[in-house]
Every structure is written in C-alpha cells, then in structure tokens.
Amino acid sequence: MGPARHGRRLSRRRRQRLGAFSLIVAALVVATVLAVRPGRGPSTPPTTSSTTSTAPATTTTPPPTTGPVAVGAVTFTVTEPATTSSGARSFPVTVRYPAIGAVGEARSGLPPRPGPYPLVIFSQGFDISPEAYAGLLDAWSAAGYVVADPAYPHTSPGAAGGVVRSDIVHHPADLSFLVTTLLADDHASGPLAGMIAPAPIGVIGQSDGGDVSLAVAANTCCRDRRVGAAILLSGAELSWFPGSYFTDGSAPLLVVQGTADHVMNPVTCSVTLYDAAPRPRFYLSMLGQDHLSAYVPAGPARSTVAAVTIDFLNAYLKHIPDALAAMRAAGDVAGRAHLTSQSALPPVAGTCPDAPVG
C-alpha cells in the first residue's frame, strides 16, 4: 500500500485518537498567548510575504554569552521551487533569535544581539501548530540559538483542503531547503544578516516532526550532512521514507520519550531507534509523561526537557566543554526523569506503527 492511501487511512484513525489532544493544545496555545507581554510575541507573530522586516541588521561579532537573553522573532513565507517529486511549495516560518532586551522578554521586533549563533530547525507534530511549543522554542533561542519553526504544507492546522499526513514524505526536502535559505539570508541585508553561524545545524522534532528530523539526520533517503545534532521528542523511524537508517552514520542523537506515551509513537519506537543508532546517543525518559505533556504545557517536566536539550546542543553545536556533564545532571531527577547513554535499552513489548520491517 502506497503512502498516500495509507496516509489517508491513518489520518482518519489518528485524528480520532488525537481529538482530545487537539482540544488540549488549543487551550494551551490560548494560555501561551495570554501569558506573553503586551504587544505581539513569538506566539502570535505578524506574518509577511518576504524576509523584509524592521529588525535591524547585526554584525558578525561572536556572541559573548550563551544566555539566557531576550528573544526576538520575525515571520515570513518560504517558497520552494517545484521538483520532480512535488510541485512548488510555500509555507510560513517563524524565526526566533537572541535579542537585546530584558531577560525573559519574548516578542517580535526586538533588536537582535550581535551574532552569529547556531541554527536550529524545529518540526512540529501532525496537525499541531509549531507555536504550541512556544515555551521550548523561546528557551532554546534565549540560550543562544536562532530557532526556525516551519509550518509545513498539508500537515499544519488550517491547511488548505485539510491535513494529509502522507505529505510528511516531502518534509525532509522542505527542511533542507529552509536551511539553505536561512544560511543564505545570513549573508544578505535582511533581519537575519550576521545572525546565523555556518553549519553544523541542529534539528529538533516532536512526534511526526521527530520522524522528519531523524530522516535528515540518519536516513540515506534524505540525510543532510549539515546536521550536527538531532533531538527527537517522541519520534520514530518511518517506513514511508525510502532509504535505510543508520547505515551511513548519523548526527549525535538525543531521544526523549514519555513513559506514558501510548498514542502516536509509543516507547517501543524510541527504544528501537536508540538501540540501532551509533554513538554518541542519549535517551531521556520522562517519567509518567504522555505524548505532549513534557513539551507543551509549562511545568517541571518541560523545564527538564529544556535544560537537557540546551546542554545537548551546547555540547555538539557550541562545543562547550562541560555541557555533557551539565546534561547528565539535568537529566537525572528523582521521580521525573532519567538520562542514559548505555549500549542498549531493555526491550519493550509492542510494535511501532509504520516502522520499517526488518
């Protein structure tokens, strides 16, 4: 069965199972918007049709600190030319950047701090707005990263004609095109000039977005060798991508999984991919957390995920000497989280939906 037919069947079934999650996410997004300071923040950025913005250009002076700092944002539309496998594709992307302002301030239009900073691309879960994850996105940017969160065509809420999960097969190419676009913008006269460091870059994804991030980090179909660190939040291997995983190496990998996640990518998915991945690799168990609870709502669980992921990025994108030690300390919290880099994880009963066979 091809991915298009299979995707339509899975979309109907999974949208039914995700109905309750959609209501929760909608409420959380509203709460996030209300929590932002007066003015339009990264959770509700203005959308433009190009990279034109009032944010001033910056110099290429290396940043003196890793944060926390204020966070600014700019939103624009990326248009990807037609290829042999798809027509022209357009999608909005919000880019957060370390800004000049009060620590904890997060809104569009803040002047950028002198760069450059490593680039991180975040890919959201199926039928969930990227801005639902605003708390994590702000935390990564405040720690000294330029963070882009594309709203991919056909899998983001409000997509023309409805969401279609099988469109995920085009997302690795979307992601790589976005990386090329943003790295080029660093040398232009727009708002991101001088802000983005050359590759390597980081990729982070949740659920289906984790599947996309793994594909560009470790699948021969779509591997982008500019990726120097990959973080999967409840991600999985996906058979719809035609290549093979981990046969041609992989970027350093951090796998994060809620132990009570039984909806989209259950624990068996993350255990399977972790055991197959080459080192360096790490596995963060979020105890008692489900598919979204450690990533979307504010609280101790999300704070732990933010701390561990920032330390991981600091280790492999900024090469900070003590970052891995800090990550291990942040990832072991009694009753909340456990971090390991052991050679293999104990087997978990069950199967991983849509995973490659064999």
User: Domains, the chain, ranges and CATH?
Assistant: 3-340 (3.40.50.1820)
pLDDT recorded at residue 50: 33
Q: Output the pLDDT for position 169.
A: 92
pLDDT digits (tens, 9 = 90+) for 97-113: 999 999 989 988 899 99
pLDDT of res. 3: 46
Spatial separation of the C-alpha atoms in residues 117 and 5, rounded to whole Å: 42
Mean pLDDT in the chain? Answer: 82
Q: State the average pLDDT over residues 158-174.
A: 87
Q: Judge whether 89 and 125 are in contact, CB under 8 Å.
A: no
Residue 330, pLDDT > 80, answer yes
Is a pLDDT exceeding 80 seen at residue 139? yes
Q: What is the percent of the chain where pLDDT is above 70?
A: 80
Q: Which residue has the higher pLDDT, 277 or 61?
A: 277
Per-residue pLDDT of 219-262, as tens digits, reads 999 999 999 999 999 999 999 999 999 999 899 999 999 999 98
Residue pLDDT, tens place only, 1-57: 444 434 433 343 444 444 443 433 333 333 333 333 333 333 333 333 333 333 333
DSSP letters spanning 246-282: SBTB---EEEEEETT--SSS-HHHHHHHHHHSPSSEE
Do 70 and 41 contact (CB within 8 A), yes or no?
Answer: no
Q: pLDDT at position 33, please? A: 32
State residue 127's pLDDT score: 82
Maximum distance among all Cα pairs of the chain, rounded to whole angstroms: 54
Confidence of residue 189 (pLDDT cuts 50, 70, 90): low
Q: How confident is the model at residue 290 (pLDDT cuts 50, 70, 90)?
A: very high
Q: Does 87 score more than 60 pLDDT?
A: yes
Q: Which residue has the higher pLDDT, 156 or 254?
A: 254
